[in-house]
Structure formats: structure tokens, C-alpha cells
Amino acid sequence: MGSAESALVVFAYQAATNFLPIFGAIVSDALLGRFLTISLTLFSCMIGAILLWLTIVVPILVAEDYANKDQDNQSCHSPTTLQLFVLLTSLMFLSIGASGVRPCSLPFGVDQFTHWRGAQKDRALKVLFRWYYLSMGGSAIISITLIVYLQDKLGWRIGFAISIAIAAFATFLNIVTSPLYIKVKPQKSTWISLVQVIFIAIRNRHIQLPKAGDNDLHYHNIRGLTMVPSSKMRFLNRACVLRAHVNSSNTEVLNANSWNVCTVEQVEDTKRALSVIPMWSAMITSLLIPTASFRVLQAETMDRRVGTTKFQMPAGSIAIFEVITFTLWLGCFDKFIVPLLQKITRTEKTLSHKQKMGIGVLFSIACALSASVVEAIRRKQAISQGLKNNIDGVVNMSVLWLAPQCVFAGLIGAFGSIGQIEFYYAVLPKTMSSLALALLPLASGVANIASTMIVKLVKVITCSGGRVGWLPNNLNQGHYDYFYFVLAMLGIVGFIYFVACCYWFEEPSPNQLVETNEDEANMS
């Protein structure tokens, strides 16, 4: 398979892995429940890993390029229909697996503390979140280092077999421990009510809203609750207005059909779901900047020796600095950073979710600026060594110069990504917890597409008139430092937009959201 076809397959797989979790979250919250969704998608992961392993084990499924990799064969052979079918099927099962495991794992863990109350529950959830984030970083470190090392030394057959063993063990462990779990039943009405609120609000667009201070009987409430809808997104308030009170001369009797009128609680839940969209969009630039990085290509042109040893760091392993930063920061934050901040500020409160997200955006700008500076230095050094036209030349410059931008990228995840998850989880209704975990990979998918479009646009603009452009295959002839600087400017614009969204966003008022004992009724 040629490089263009391979890139297309990888791009499609990444897009599916990032976009499918949003559907997995909906299916989990509305139809299957989190435990069943996790169980089915774990099984899907195992099937995908087995099929992928078969593509390098079964002779009829092995691509000719892989079979002849030890020979001096520079030509590319197209895979057969059967080989391509099995490969794409394996990637499809892996993507389906990610669609359930990624958005449901953390909310399912939170479900286990449903019956807990007060400070004990808060402490337990903090420990759960911290270990969940640490497991993310730890698994990434293992996959980047140990699994890749074993694949290089022992071959892909052993490497893929290890992946199968891990997936099979996780699936088996999940089934065996099933009786120990608390399983919350799905609530289809939560997602249907979102559609109902929007539909009824549009249908009632000509209804005049009650004046401020009017009796709350103008609005539809249930279970003895007397709530008045908030003033933000007032057009949605028409969905819960009782038509019998719109006009004193109107004698229409209220129809109990939920497609005629919604409750105030339904309207407020819909507002909470819609209110995160601007904040979600404001974080895309912070995910786009590290995605659009060419640090692996830069690492290939730099001195990758570690210390005085003969060991050379693989160019693709440069991301280890990002993962280590992410893991170490999360491991130290609650134990060391939070107490220090509390001592400095003399308050129990530290950083809010929005502040963490904002810091993540600022680190993305720092990541782009540091990448621009390092690339300018690397290019200048390459030209001084006479390597401008030598695409394979190694610059007398340590690959560790790329470490700062990788550290900033890790801090983007530690602040921006984690802040997003916590923000969505706090704002969205409890019945939509899986959506909170699905919004981050969705933003990553949008960032991947946007970064691809930006790279192509920059190439088209800078290569006009027969010029080399900023992003040629030979880094020494281009100006990747200019490209990184443009990303930094884009990050600044994104930060301004983020601040505007924070100013617009209103935290839900306590008098509009009433806690109920509904969770106990939903236990299986």
C-alpha cells in the first residue's frame, strides 16, 4: 500500500476513533447502560486486535510488502480485496471499542459511589478521578515505550499478541467482577427531552413569555416543584409555558402530552447541555496546536543520542516527554500543588474548571512559540552546516531541544483536557455523564481535521508562484518556524474567544436545579 493510501486509512481510523464516542455516549445513557456498553465494546476491542494480528500471521492475509520487508524491494504493491477487507474490519472493531470504553469508563466508576453522601463521596471521587487520569498517562507510557520496544525487537506478531492478551484479560476481568458492580439503568427520556424542548420552543415561538415576577404557575412543574426558568436562552422558556396562562381569554385545557409542553427542569437541563457548546468550541485551538506539530520530522534531522551512550532515541518516541509530563503533573497536583496554592491564597478553593481550561489554552500558545523558536535555531544550524539541500543530513543539535514544546503539550493535557472533562461533568445533567467524556475526543477529532486543512491551506498559499513554500519535505529549505508562529497567533485568537465564552457562560443557579433521590430508583 502506498503512503497516500496508508495515510488515508490512518486518517479514517483516527476520525472514527474520535467521533464515534459521541454516539457511544448516547447509546450508553439512553439505551444500553454503561456496564453493558463497556462489556460489548471491550469484546469489540478484542475482536479488532485479533483480526489485526491475523493480517501479519495468516499467509493469505499478509500484505506482500510486509512479507518481503527483508528484501531490497522498493516497489509498493496494492493489497488484495480480502487483505484490505480484514484490515479495515479490524480497525472498525477497534473504533467501535473506543466508542464505548472511552466515554463510559469514568462515569461507570462514579456510579459505584451513587449511594455515598457528603464529604466521604467527594474524597472518593477525587481519588477516582486522579487514578483514572494516572492510568491514562501510565498506559500511554507503556504503549509508547515497552510495546513499541517489543515490536521492534521481537516483531509485530509478538507485539500484536501482547495487545490481544491485554484486551482479553480486560474483557474477562470485566465479566468476572460483574456481580460486584452497581449498574445504573439508562434513561431514554433524558435525550428525548432535549429534542422535545427545542421542538416545542420552536412551535411556540409566537407565544409571549410571562413578565418577570409573574406567578410561577405560568410554567409547567412536576413533583410539587415550583421553579421558574432562568433568563438565559429565554427562547427555550416557551417550551415550558402553560398555554392556558398565555392569554386570560384562552380557555384551552393543558394537554399532558410531553410533546405539547415540557417541565421547567427539562428546559434547564437542555440549557445546560447547550451552554457547553461555546466552551467546547473554544478549546479546539488548544488541541489543534500540538496536533499540527511536525516534531517527529524535526527529531529525525537532529542528534538523537542519549548522553554519551550509543543508544539513539527513536524519532517517534519524542512524545514520551509529553506523556511523562502529563502523568507526573497529575500525580503531584493534588498532593503537592493544591496544598501549596491553598497556603498561598489562604483559601480552600484553588483553580476552577474554567481556570484550568484557560491555563491549558495559554500553554498551547507557549507550545507553538517554543516550537517556532527551536525550529528557527535548528534551521539556522542546518544551513550553517551546509545541509540546506540535504534532506537526510543530521544537524549537530540535540533532540532534547524539542523537549520544552513536548512538556508544554503535556501541560495542555494536564490542564486543558482534564479541565474540560471536569467542567463538562460538573455542568451537564447527571444522566448525560457519558457525554462529558465523549466531548473531549470529539474536539480532538475536529482539531485533527482542522489541522489537516490548515496545513494544506498553508502549503497552497506559500507554494504559489512556484516557490518552495513553508512546509516542503526538506525541513531545511522551508520555514516551519513561520508555520508555528502562525499557530501561536491562532492560539492567541482562540484565547480571546475563550475569555469571551467564559464571560458569556453562566453557572447554573442552585434555585433552578433541584436534587432528587431519583438515582436510588434507577439502581438495578
pLDDT interval class at 493 (50, 70, 90): very high
Predicted local distance difference test score (pLDDT) of residue 500: 92
Name the average pLDDT for the chain: 80
Tens digits of residue pLDDT in 44-92: 999 999 999 998 888 887 776 555 554 444 455 677 888 888 888 999 9
pTM value? 0.80
Distance CA 75, CA 205 (A): 64
Tens digits of residue pLDDT in 101-127: 888 888 888 888 888 887 788 788 888
Residue with cell 498561598: 344
Q: What are the structural domain ranges in the chain? A: 1-63+80-187, 189-247+255-262, 275-508
pLDDT interval class at 41 (50, 70, 90): very high
147 Cβ neighbours under 8 A, 6+ residues apart: 159, 162, 163
- DSSP secondary structure, 352-376, as one string: -HHHHHHHHHHHHHHHHHHHHHHHH
Predicted local distance difference test score (pLDDT) of residue 191: 73
In percent, the amount of the chain with pLDDT more than 70 equals 85
Q: HSE, CB side, 13 Å, CA atoms: give it for residue 137.
A: 23
Same fold, 1-63+80-187 and 275-508: yes
- CATH 1.10.630.10 corresponds to the domain 275-508: no
Range of lowest pLDDT (85-94, 256-265, 369-378, 389-398)? 256-265
Predicted local distance difference test score (pLDDT) of residue 267: 82
> How much is the average pLDDT of 222-241?
72
Distance CA 249, CA 91 (A): 63
Tens digits of residue pLDDT in 312-346: 777 777 888 888 898 888 878 777 777 877 777 77
| 390 φ/ψ sector (left φ>0, alpha ψ -120 to 50, else beta) | beta
Predicted local distance difference test score (pLDDT) of residue 412: 93
Maximum mean pLDDT: which of 15-19, 55-59, 410-414: 410-414
- CATH 1.20.1250.20 corresponds to the domain 1-63+80-187: yes
Predicted local distance difference test score (pLDDT) of residue 145: 77
Taking CA atoms, 164 is separated from 38, 85, 138, 159, 383, in Å, by 17, 20, 19, 9, 47
Distance CA 280, CA 439 (A): 8
Predicted local distance difference test score (pLDDT) of residue 118: 77
How many CB atoms neighbour CB 287 within 10 A? 27
Taking CA atoms, 374 is separated from 341, 411, 449, in Å, by 32, 18, 26
